[in-house]
Structure 1
């Protein structure tokens, strides 16, 4: 094959990636350069088969990422279940005469990915095999990265992964408010610190095995409650962090309060009732991560000092004069 040396270079590059998004971008770039499809993209679905993101690669080297509500063409919707069931690539000719081929990508505890390639002719067997081999490499490295980035008890992403993810979320938020006509749910993000009430007492009374079971069950309730595109983390000890997209302050508070009620109403074996307290803050583009965490933590502290089993928003507490606003240094570089 005339492009074998180039392929070996690309494989070496892929195996050196330690970031899932860079890995996916490199995968699409390599396959695009080698096989020259009309279009190529990577679609991610949550475990309910709801689309959560779509990464598209353009021949000129650009890539585009869509999040949230993604409307899939009918031919994609039709082919996805077949690919998932057979675990083999399947093609279909569209009304425009082009051929869409869908390949199974990587599978994880929270999401599955599929590669979509459009060509002006049916893909040859050698091309399908090439795609399948590269996707196997991608899947292997996704599994390794996923294992290193997850908390072994709950399966949620760990604290280090949170620190990487929050910077990506900050990059998605516009620095200027959008006009009302163009704003949507995906333009407003909220960070919540979730703390299990009286967790030390649970460990002391029932033992660490039951404490671990509480952590696991709370993590599972979080995964059931929030949407596939929301980001959930085991932050440490009895604390979790959730980053969600919401329309407004009330919508964000309601989402977290539904989780609170779900945990309070869940029967925990041997222990009975377990409750959580949550401190929430809106993620602003110019804020530093430690500042956001401090704001959410202050709201959480107020919730725990005033009855527990409740959700408190930092902005509401400041507005009502209950806590003092956090003083943000607008020129942090002076400290270095």
Structure 2
């Protein structure tokens, strides 16, 4: 699970078809590449396409090592990647030879997410993106691809589906039920535990969000960072910092970008400020000289942030800034859950 900008969450499962020390090394390489690509806010299908290139490069390195007499071939690699947006409830998913996840409704109804399954990694392939909206209180469950091996019988998927459906919406119970259902087949009751079997489950929740999409006449007013909407999301010193961040980012849009700025405040584990525009120009952090009269907006926002970055979409880009909430605000938020 990877924390992404805008309070979104990336969920991934993957496997390399080999074991031993070399497999541990390759797993570490894939984890590093995957986490790096995910934090670039790539869509799941784009991320898998880039990871496919990474896999191909690793395979070429392994072939060169094999020519020198070393047995280092990475073997078949496959994975599934999904990004959940807690604001819209939408989940975007792409698969590289990995079975689709399951969704379990509050009444226990369990069904797979409609995800086109592409080929494994390392074949110069492209992947398709699937978008689905999850209903509130839905349980999302991933499971290892090896659990659908023919050796487990034709009812392997039915066992997984039943295990997720009888978990009563509990993520830990869903993982336990799936592993236990495949851990000890009747034909071989003493079979040892397989480390390539596992599950991952999550109960997505929605977050409080404030959207401000002003018309042309109100754009300039956002430079004042109206205290009313900001005050509803932050308080104390956090409020002052948030007002300053909104003001600086909106000013940058009005000065350097196109279209009206769209402001979003998201309150989750952090307070996130997002300012979107219609431009695809890549912004950069400047270090203004003492005599310069401008050029400090991004620097100020970055100084007041715990994390910040840029995310590109189908229409323009979004600059996001995360701020840590004060202990008092965190306490109020926790008690209100």
Q: TM-score, normalised by structure 1?
A: 0.26
More helix by share: 1
Q: TM-score, normalised by structure 2?
A: 0.26
